[in-house]
Amino acid sequence: MKKLLTIIFLSLTTSVFAQNIIITEFGAKNDSQPDTEAIQKAIDACSKNGGGTVVFPAGTWISGTIYLKDNISIYLSMGATWQGENNNDAYPFIAPVVNSREDKAPRRTMIYAYQKKNIKIFGEGTIYPGGDYDIFHVTKENDKEMYYSRPFGLLMIECQDINIEGIKLTNSAFWMQRYFHCDNLKFNNFTVFNHSNLNNDGIDIDGCKDVIISNCVIDSSDDAIVLKSEGERKCENVTITNCILSSHATPLKCGTSSVGGYKNITMNNIVIKPSKSLEMHHLLEVWGGLSGIDLLCVDGGSMENIAIDNITMDGVETPLFIKLGNRNSAWKGKTKFDIGTIKNIRINNVTAINSGKITSSITGYKGHYVENVTLSNIRFESLAYKGKTEVKLQINERSGDYPYNHMFGLDYPVYGFYVNYGKNITLNNVEFVKHKSDSRPGLQFENTKNSRLLNVRTSEKEYVKQDIETDSILILN
C-alpha cells in the first residue's frame, strides 16, 4: 500500500517538478548505517538537472550534515524518518558567513543551506536530528562549552522562497530550526516536539522578511516561536496564525535580540497551553512556561507596528512581558548600538488562566519610554500568591540585563499589571482576577505619560468605569 501511495504521489507531481529521484537509487539503505553520501548525491544530481523532488521512502535514513541546493524539494513519505547520525564528526563546523551577534563562531547543523532559493521540505514523515544522543548531552557545568558545538536541526542563511509543510520535527541537539536573513518563508501544518536538551527552541526566525507561520503545533523545552534580529536586518512582515504552542520558556517571543529591529508583526488565533513533555530541559524549571508573550528590545533597533489578537493561554507564569532596555550587546565589528524603541503595539482579545505570581508588565528605563501600547478586551487570572508579605513600591530598571520575566525578581508590587516608563499606554475593557490570598493591589503605573484606563476591573470590588488619565504614579488598590 505504501509503495502504491508513493507511485501515486510521483505520478501526480510529474507535471509540477522537473524530476523525481528516490534516494535508494543513489545507494541509500534502510539498514541503520549512515546514508549521508547517498542523500547528498541524490540532491546534487537533482539540482544539476534543473531541480525536482528527492523522495525519502518509508524507513529510517541516517545522515550527518546535508547541503541543500537550488530548486530542491525533499519529500518525506509516510513512515519515513530522516535521522541524524550519532557521531560528532558527521557534522563539520561551518564558519559564519554573515556577521551577527549570534554568529561569533563556527556552527554545526544537520541540514544546511546558504544563499539557496526555492527549497521545500514536505510530506508526512519525520526529521529527527538525534538531540537526545549522549554525545550532545548538556549539563549546567558544560552548557557554555557545548553551546557552539551542538548542531541545529535546520540552518538556512540568506535563502529565498522556503516552504516547510506537513512534516514532524522531533528532538534536536540545539534549536530545531534557524532561518537567518531569509526572504519569503512559508511554514504550514508542521509539528515540532523538541524536548531533549537545553536551548531546544521550536523555530527561530532571525532578520527575515515576508514570513507566514500557520497551522503549526509546537511543543518545546525552550521558546516555541521566537523572532530574532541578531544582525543588522530587520525582522519584518511576519504573520503567525492558527497555531498551538507549548513551552517551558516562552511560547511566543519577539526578541531577545533586536539589533536590526522588528516591524509589521502580526500574531493571531493562537492557543498557548502546558507542555506534554514529562522531561524538563530548561535551567529555570518552570513547567508551565515563563511568559506567554514576550516583546523585547534591548540591543538597539526599533520594535513597531505589532498586532496581537485572539490569544488564549493556560498556566504560564506571566501572560505578557514587554521590556525596552539597553543591553548594548556587541560583537566583533559592531561595538556600539543606537538606543532602541518600542512603539505602536496593539494587543486585543487575550485570555490567560492559571497564571503565576510574576505580574504582567510594560517597562522602559529612565528617559526611554515604551510608547503607544493599547490593551483591549483582556482578562488575566492569577493563582495563589505566596511571596513576601511586604510590597515593593518600585522595581529596579535593570536596563542592561538579559530581559525575561524573572529579571525584576519574583515579587512585584501588584498582582495585575505594572507599568514603569510608559507613554500613551491605554487599557480598555481589561480585567485582572486575583486569588483571595493575594493582598497586593491590582495596578501600578510609575513614570508614565498620557496613560488612559477605561473599564478596568482589578477585583470584584474594584472597577474603573470612567476614563482615568495620569502623568504620574497611579496605584489602584
**Model pLDDT for residues 31-74, shown as the tens digit of each residue:** 999 999 999 999 999 999 999 999 999 999 999 999 999 999 99
pLDDT at 252: 98
Over residues 362-389, the pLDDT tens digits come to 999 999 999 999 999 999 999 877 766 4
Among 31, 60, 90, residue at a domain's last position = 90
Q: Looking at residue 29, which CATH number applies to its domain?
A: 2.160.20.10
pLDDT at 18: 56
Over residues 118-164, the pLDDT tens digits come to 999 999 999 999 999 999 998 777 777 788 899 999 999 999 999 99
Rg of the Cα trace of the chain? Answer: 24
pLDDT at 104: 87
Residue that is written with C-alpha cell 540532491 in the block: 43
Q: How confident is the model at residue 325 (pLDDT cuts 50, 70, 90)?
A: very high
Residue 406 forms part of a structural domain: yes
Among 73, 90, 107, residue at a domain's last position = 90
Among 67, 90, 113, residue at a domain's last position = 90
Instruction: Give me the chain's average pLDDT, please.
Output: 90
The secondary element (H helix, E strand) that includes residue 44 is helix 36-48
Contact yes or no for 167/190 (Cβ under 8 A): yes
Q: Range of 450's domain?
A: 290-477
Residue 96 forms part of a structural domain: no
Contact yes or no for 72/52 (Cβ under 8 A): yes
Which amino acid does the sequence have at 274? P
Residue 140 forms part of a structural domain: no
List the one residue out of 254, 263, 266 whose CA is nearest residue 236.
263
The angle subtended at Cα 379 by Cα 374 and Cα 380, nearest 5°, is: 105
Segments of 383-421 assigned E as strands: 417-420
Residue 271 forms part of a structural domain: no
Over residues 210-234, the pLDDT tens digits come to 999 999 999 999 999 999 999 989 9
Number of domains in the chain: 2
Residue 306 forms part of a structural domain: yes
pLDDT at 117: 98
pLDDT at 16: 40
pLDDT at 21: 96
CA pair distance 25, 31, nearest whole angstrom: 15
Residue 98 forms part of a structural domain: no
Residue 257 forms part of a structural domain: no
